[in-house]
Structure formats: C-alpha cells, structure tokens
C-alpha cells in the first residue's frame, strides 16, 4: 500500500475540505458533482463519483476520498 508524505496528505485534506461545503465531514454526491460539473460532463461526473463511492451509500467519506487520491498517485 502506498504511503503518502505529509505534504501529499495535507493536499488531500485541503481538497476534501474545499469540497465539503457544509463541513459535515463527508462529501455528498451533490457537493462533489457541483464542483466537478464546472469542468466535466454530467456523465463523466457520475462515473467518477461511482468509482470513488465504493460502498454506494451516496456519500464520499474521507477514507473513500483518500483511497481514490492514492489510486491516482499510484497510476501516475
Ligand atoms: Ca458535506
Ligand atoms: Ca461512500
């Protein structure tokens, strides 16, 4: 398993908090799609959220977000 540096972890936290508009510690599909739809099509956003939200509960937890962040670093 990839281990993040302190700096990478801080970047991930900053991104998560920037997206978590109501500061409840999770990203709803609505919060994430609002941010992503500025740049991406609805269909692409749905695919991305489906991939990140591995337990399918309609919310992106910090752990799910962090896992996706690590996956992206590993694929670079
Ligand atoms: Ca939230
Ligand atoms: Ca989830």
What is the rounded CA–CA span in Å between residue 63 and residue 25? Answer: 11
SS3 53: coil
Nearest ligand to the CA atom of 53? 2
Whether residue 7 lies inside any domain: the answer is no
Top pLDDT among 3 and 61 is at 61
Whether residue 5 lies inside any domain: the answer is no
Q: pLDDT tens digits, residue range 5-64?
A: 999 999 999 999 999 999 999 999 999 999 999 999 999 999 999 999 999 999 999 999
Q: How far is the CA of 5 from the centre of ligand 2 (A)?
A: 24
On the 0-12 / 13-18 / 19+ scale of CB atoms within 10 A, 72 is: exposed
Counting the structural domains of the chain, the total is: 1
Whether residue 68 lies inside any domain: the answer is yes
**In terms of residue numbers, what domain contains 49?**
28-76
Q: How far is the CA of 62 from the centre of ligand 2 (A)?
A: 9
Is the Cβ–Cβ distance between 39 and 31 less than 8 Å? no
Is the Cβ–Cβ distance between 32 and 49 less than 8 Å? yes
pTM: 0.87
Residue-level pLDDT at 1? 66
């Amino acid at each position: 398993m990839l281990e993040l540096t302190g700096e990478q972890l801080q970047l991930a936290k900053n991104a998560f908090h920037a997206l978590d508009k109501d500061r409840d510690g999770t990203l709803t599909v609505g919060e994430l799609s609002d941010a992503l739809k500025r740049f991406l099509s609805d269909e692409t956003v749905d695919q991305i959220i489906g991939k990140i939200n591995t337990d399918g509960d309609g919310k992106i937890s910090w752990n799910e977000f962090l896992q996706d962040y690590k996956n992206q670093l590993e694929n670079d």
